[in-house]
Structure 1
Amino acid sequence: MNILMALSQLEVTGAEVYATTVGDALGARGHRVFYVSDTLTKPHQGEFFRLRFNKRSIPRRFWHVGYLIYLIRRHRIQLVHAHSRASSWSCYVACKLTGTPMITTVHGRQPVHASRKKFHALGDRALAVCEAVRDQLITGLGVAPELIAIGRNGIDTQRYQPVPPPANDKPVISIIGRLTGPKGELCYQLLDQCLDLDRYQVQIASGSRVPERFHRFQNKVEFLGYVQDVPGLMAQSDLVIGAGRVAMEAILMQRPVFAVGEAEAVGLVTPDNIQAAMASNFGDIGPNDLDIDFTTLPTQITAALDTRFDSVALADSVKAAYDLQAVTSELEAHYQSVIVHRLRREVPIIMYHRFIKDDSEKGVHGTYLHVNMLEKHFKLLKRLGYETLTFADLADNGLASRLEAGKKYIIITVDDGYKDNFDLLFPLLKKYGFKAVIYAVTGESFNRWDVENPDNPEKTVELMTPDQIKEMAASGLVEFGGHTLTHPKLDRLDREQQHAEIAGNKAQLEQLLGHSLHSFAYPYGIHNNDSKQLAKELGYPFAVATNSGPLAMHEDPWQIRRIAIFPRTDAFGLWRKIKGNYVFRKA
């Protein structure tokens, strides 16, 4: 995907660290990430465009919107991810005009006024960094709860490793944060009222210039400026004071953290209060700004330096909630949902069964297609510029790869594994350079499940031999997936019987092919909770149904919708089904 991160800032902020950290993680997964902001200090991968969002006059805002539209079109941006009020307003207008999906991460408490309630400009989904932000969006701004999800800060947990306590002659207290705005006021009050500057060695890491009012502390406080090696600074600290990412990173290093932020003082973070601390983003967000009784903090800070607790358990809690790769995966899922549902487009997955050369081969059931029509289908796909994917491709590259900019992807699936797949489909796959996924029944040599149907018996049709399956798989054009041993209706079987059908079929195909399978198809599209759970437990990354499941395939990888192709589906009918919005119109 092509993603534009939009920020408005004049100095390093937690939003910038968040955006560049997850941006680099997204880039490592194959996405192209661009940035637009007033400034961007943190090292990052991806092109940066300067735009002065903090200049907010009406003419400037028109310029912001126009420039964003230019960036969206020039770089084929598929989703805009805003990180501030100023940028989200302009991004919202630009995305409305271009039809571009948009997400906003809300990093802090929002101002509440009438215009903001009517025009919150959050886009298609808001990601609140903590529960306090979510609650304030709902109660303060009237944002619909279904529009909001929790989107934690992502932290590269490998960068912040546990360190032994330092052997400092005098306790070292490190304050990390801005010296401007609410955080600057907080830092000033800590120095003025709470910290014994003779007893402690206090050092402040900040990207801000030191404001004049802080000059009175310069003889007793070390102002370090912007620090590249924050882990090194934390390692030498007896106590870290901060909120948001600062607190999380220090906890991962098993350094004591006194969480105090723009809203409240959580105090020393321990396993007993970690959940409450996370809910307020470690003190940064609450019902009011800077609602702190500073007179109580000196004794709390002194006690924090002497208190012992289970720092390993605390670090594990933070790691579970903020692990960068887990957060990035959640973010990818949000991106996919917003793109698919906003545009009402999903990669089409079409479903064939068997193919015939003449009318004598027609069956009672409508699961066949004349090979001449199949070639017309393939000609249409080639003319329209479609490229074929398999589930092995998606397992290797991630489900989000199906939304690659400038690509038109389709997944061709074929159920049951009839011999005609080898005789008629295989030559056309070679001719057009297409790939397909064939779901093979391995416990039968013909379609016994249809032939012995007492209500509507079908003619006998031969299945592929093991040698034919191996030849097709070796070509690189065919991925084989599981389809049970005997093609039963799984919901009529108990869990043990389902396990035998699914596991037995998988084992036979994997032994034949010499590699693991990536997808499974429920016979008739029929399944129950046991079926889905077994597919997961047996190691299938994906399972396909027919006309059931979410409209976006990533929202349930074990119940993926497909589009059935029938004998009368001509080239025009196929075009209607593969435009991308077919399942949305039919749902």
Structure 2
Amino acid sequence: MRLLHVSGAHRLVAPLTRGLGVILTFHRVRPAVHDSFAPNAGLEISPPFLDLLLHHLRAQGYAILSLDDALDVVRSARRHAQPFAVLSFDDGYRDLVDHALPILERHRAPFIAYLTPGFADRSARLWWLELEESIRRLSHVDITVAQRRIVSRCASPQEKQAAFTEIYWAIRDGDEAALLAVVADLSARAGVDAREIATHGCLGWDAIRSLAQHGLATIGAHSLSHPRLARLDAAAARREMAGSRARIREETGVTPRHFCYPVGDRTSAGRREFDLAAELGFESAVTTRPGLIFPEHRAHLQALPRLSVNGRFQSLAALDVLLSGAPFALLNRGRRVAA
């Protein structure tokens, strides 16, 4: 990234590597929280940066399109007069309405919100936020993950970050039940209320119903409870995918036509999940595999890549390097589709 930025080489190859456009991934949009222990900071950007980013996209010649309009471009296999950018927001955080929506309205920027009904119901767990809050409150951790004992002092922010990182990746290696059990154990020790985290952090159904009627919004499904679908058996994965669409339709009257795989990396969604999304009739489904959109993706609409706007790097210079497609051309060894 640094070499491309300094050399400017990404600008030279962009006409070949930029493709038709990009689907941008956002999670939380809220005022900056200056906390020395912020392990989930990569999932957050500030409202001023979102405003700056939207100005910048249009200044760079991007058309901000709804997902449906962007898919029309992909299906037509004809390059649009402008490269497109689709704005996608995962999970259904309150910040989308409280902080992002006024900016999106000001820019007249369409977007898609991928919603998890379990967060709106307060029955599913934002385990990554539970883990963060638990370690914030604890001064010492002694826990077993898959027969591996993890003992960590958690007094300083640096120690807390190290403990979070070690536990996070240890539980990511296991199945969903084990992951949730470990986080529940830590939450119990720290006095963290999982339901309260969902209530405080995520939109309820009244707000979602209002959002579903907004002229700029498209509503997508993001599973019932946000599990890594590839870690479930086929029947359970199907229930999560189909059930999220049914639950959103029941509450809002809107039937989601697009799906977002929770976590969405190669260990969380693969060929089986892509085939399930197509079988269930979703017109598209997005991953978190990094990449831009090319005409060849018309044959892989249930395995679309996205570009995550990382809160640790709120930099237009870094964004420009990524939007050029050059890093992904190198990462994927020249393959346009890595589905």
Is it true that 1:423 corresponds to 2:98 in the alignment? yes
Is the 2:291–2:328 contact (alpha carbons within 8 Å) kept by the matching residues of 1? no
Q: 1:430 to 1:550 in 2, by over 3 A?
A: closer
Q: 1:472 to 1:403 in 2, by over 3 A?
A: farther
Q: Which amino acid aligns with 1:343?
A: L
SS in 2 for 1:443: helix
Greater Cα shift, 503-512 or 492-501: 503-512
The correspondence of residues 114-263 of structure 1 with structure 2, limited to 5 A, is none
Larger gyration radius, structure 1 or structure 2: 1
Q: Which amino acid aligns with 2:300?
A: D
What TM-score results when the alignment is normalised by the length of structure 1?
0.39
Q: 1:449 aligns with which of 127, 140, 147?
A: 127
Q: 1:550 to 1:356 in 2, by over 3 A?
A: closer
Q: 1:530 aligns with which of 272, 286, 289?
A: 272
Is the 1:550–1:559 contact (alpha carbons within 8 Å) kept by the matching residues of 2? no
Q: Which residue of 2 is the match for residue 470 of structure 1?
A: 209
Q: 1:573 to 1:404 in 2, by over 3 A?
A: same
Q: Which residue of 1 is the match for residue 140 of structure 2?
A: none
Q: Which amino acid aligns with 1:507?
A: A
Q: 2:53 aligns with which of 359, 371, 377?
A: 377
Distance 1:433 1:479 in 2: 14
User: For each residue in 1:458-479, what CA deviation from the matched residue of structure 2 results, as whole angstroms up to 9, or x when unmatched?
Assistant: 9935111222222223222111
Q: 1:551 to 1:437 in 2, by over 3 A?
A: closer
Q: 1:398 to 1:413 in 2, by over 3 A?
A: same
Distance 1:402 1:471 in 2: 35
The answer to which structure has the higher helix fraction is 2
Q: Which residue of 2 is the match for residue 543 of structure 1?
A: 285
Distance 1:420 1:560 in 2: 25
Cα offset, 1:534, TM superposition: 1.7
Q: Which residue of 1 is the match for residue 331 of structure 2?
A: 586
Is the 1:387–1:407 contact (alpha carbons within 8 Å) kept by the matching residues of 2? yes
Distance 2:49 2:117 in 1: 28
Is it true that 1:558 corresponds to 2:302 in the alignment? yes
The correspondence of residues 185-584 of structure 1 with structure 2, limited to 5 A, is 343-346=16-19, 347-359=21-33, 363-365=38-40, 366-394=42-70, 397=72, 399-401=74-76, 403-445=78-120, 447-453=125-131, 455-456=167-168, 460=197, 462-525=201-264, 526-547=268-289, 552=294, 553-567=297-311, 568-584=313-329
Q: Which amino acid aligns with 1:538?
A: L
Structure possessing the higher relative contact order (Cα contacts under 8 Å, 6 or more residues apart)? 2
Distance 2:322 2:292 in 1: 17
Is the 2:274–2:302 contact (alpha carbons within 8 Å) kept by the matching residues of 1? yes
Is the 1:439–1:481 contact (alpha carbons within 8 Å) kept by the matching residues of 2? yes
Cα offset, 1:404, TM superposition: 4.3
Unaligned runs of 5+ in 1: 1-340
Q: Which amino acid aligns with 1:350?
A: L
Is the 1:373–1:571 contact (alpha carbons within 8 Å) kept by the matching residues of 2? no
Cα offset, 1:497, TM superposition: 0.7
Is the 2:111–2:217 contact (alpha carbons within 8 Å) kept by the matching residues of 1? yes
Q: 1:440 to 1:556 in 2, by over 3 A?
A: same
Count of residues in Structure 1 that have an aligned counterpart in Structure 2: 247
Q: 1:583 to 1:518 in 2, by over 3 A?
A: farther
Is the 2:87–2:110 contact (alpha carbons within 8 Å) kept by the matching residues of 1? yes
Distance 1:522 1:352 in 2: 14
User: For each residue in 1:452-498, what CA deviation from the matched residue of structure 2 results, as whole angstroms up to 9, or x when unmatched?
Assistant: 55824699351112222222232221111111111111111001111
Cα offset, 1:412, TM superposition: 1.2
User: For each residue in 1:398-434, what CA deviation from the matched residue of structure 2 results, as whole angstroms up to 9, or x when unmatched?
Assistant: 6235844422311111111101011111101100111
Distance 1:381 1:548 in 2: 19
Q: Which amino acid aligns with 1:429?
A: L
SS in 2 for 1:348: strand
User: For each residue in 1:174-221, what CA deviation from the matched residue of structure 2 results, as whole angstroms up to 9, or x when unmatched?
Assistant: xxxxxxxxxxxxxxxxxxxxxxxxxxxxxxxxxxxxxxxxxxxxxxxx
Unaligned runs of 5+ in 2: 1-13, 132-142, 144-166, 169-182, 333-339
SS in 2 for 1:566: coil
User: For each residue in 1:524-556, what CA deviation from the matched residue of structure 2 results, as whole angstroms up to 9, or x when unmatched?
Assistant: 112133322221121101111112689633241
**What RMSD in Å do the two structures reach over aligned CA positions?**
2.9
What TM-score results when the alignment is normalised by the length of structure 2?
0.65
Distance 1:541 1:380 in 2: 30
Q: 1:371 to 1:342 in 2, by over 3 A?
A: closer
SS in 1 for 2:321: helix
Is the 2:23–2:293 contact (alpha carbons within 8 Å) kept by the matching residues of 1? no
Cα offset, 1:584, TM superposition: 2.0
SS in 2 for 1:575: helix
Is the 1:392–1:518 contact (alpha carbons within 8 Å) kept by the matching residues of 2? no
Cα offset, 1:509, TM superposition: 1.5
Cα offset, 1:342, TM superposition: 8.6
Distance 1:390 1:518 in 2: 13
Question: Which consecutive segments of 4 or more residues in structure 1 shift more than 6 A?
Answer: 548-551
Is the 2:238–2:276 contact (alpha carbons within 8 Å) kept by the matching residues of 1? yes
Distance 1:572 1:349 in 2: 18
Cα offset, 1:577, TM superposition: 2.0
Is the 1:483–1:502 contact (alpha carbons within 8 Å) kept by the matching residues of 2? yes
Cα offset, 1:448, TM superposition: 2.6
Cα offset, 1:522, TM superposition: 0.7
Greater Cα shift, 512-521 or 535-544: 512-521
